[in-house]
Structure 1
Amino acid sequence: MFYGPGGPYALFAGKDASRALAKMSFEDKDLTGDISGLGPFELEALQDWEYKFMSKYVKVGTIKKTVPVTDGASNGEPAKADNVAKPAEDGPSESPAVKSEETPTGDDAKNE
């Protein structure tokens, strides 16, 4: 399994790694959905990844993005916020290359 524990692409599983895919990077700092500042070549690469994933894998979920919010207390510290994968719904994904644990289909399942 490429995306399973210990697999070469495990770092991409269950998170929005759009920036890393666009930059073809395995660096932790790029494992984010922030695609600001990417150039046309990188955005095209990201689009290519989306098409590849859409044709090869069944969508099993989307990444729930949360924003830290203050709880109204005077200390001004943000409340805890987590990025959590949730099951897929019938609508389109929120981000082009968002994938949680992908499941190979058809002939691809035999090759992986």
Structure 2
Amino acid sequence: MAFSFNLGTPVNTALFLYILYSVQKIIFPPIPKPTSTPTEFKNGYSWMPKAHPPTVLFKIYTPKTLVPFNGIDGGRILLAINSIVFDVTQGRNFYGPNGMYGNFAGRDASRGMAKQSFDEEMLTPIDKPLDKCDDLRPDEIENMRGWIEHFSNKYIICGKLVENDSPEAASN
């Protein structure tokens, strides 16, 4: 039996138009009109922050000028790895005063990160020359580089760590 469709008959024409109308409703559903006027922009934009985040400038730090950035009293937290200073304030849970890495806050963390140690002896006293890390094994140096890469992808580089008596420090 052959099936033929003839639009010349009124029933077929009506059926064809109904099918087109139904397909159109499925493909292009009606957009409901709002029942009330939006009010979220009457008092200003809702996406604006309450306050602008503090501006971070690239600065030269010495071990002595880095110490105050230890996160105590809710302040900024900076730490250095291989003379690169990172602002790790967003990681306060890790680098803040009660965090796992809290002893690195405001300090040069190069040796501790390289050796995966949180011990106090990993920190160079702030009145001594910077730790050159000359005695690190290749795997420890690679570990330190891994931390630098991790921090560079996660935190802002905000400065450079130099010796206390460096001419760079005096010009800052």
TM-score by length of 1: 0.54
Match of 1:14 among 106, 121, 142: 106
Match of 1:50 among 148, 159, 162: 148
Match of 1:4 among 96, 119, 122: 96
Unaligned segments of structure 2, at least 5 residues: 1-92, 125-130
- In structure 1, what residue type is equivalent to 2:113? L
Q: For residues 112 and 157 of structure 2, what CA distance do their matches in structure 1 show? A: 19
Please, what is the CA RMSD of the aligned residues?
2.4
- In structure 2, what residue type is equivalent to 1:11? N
Q: Cα gap change, 1:12/1:48 in structure 2, threshold over 3 Å: closer, same or farther?
A: same
Aligned identity (percent) is: 41
Superposition pairs of residues 31-110 of structure 1, within 5 angstroms: 31-32=123-124, 33-67=131-165
- In structure 2, what residue type is equivalent to 1:6? N
Q: Is the 8 A contact 1:21 1:49 kept in 2?
A: yes
Greater C-alpha radius of gyration: 2
Unaligned segments of structure 1, at least 5 residues: 68-83, 88-112
Count of residue pairs brought into register by the alignment: 70
Structure with the bigger RCO (C-alpha within 8 Å, sep 6+) is 1
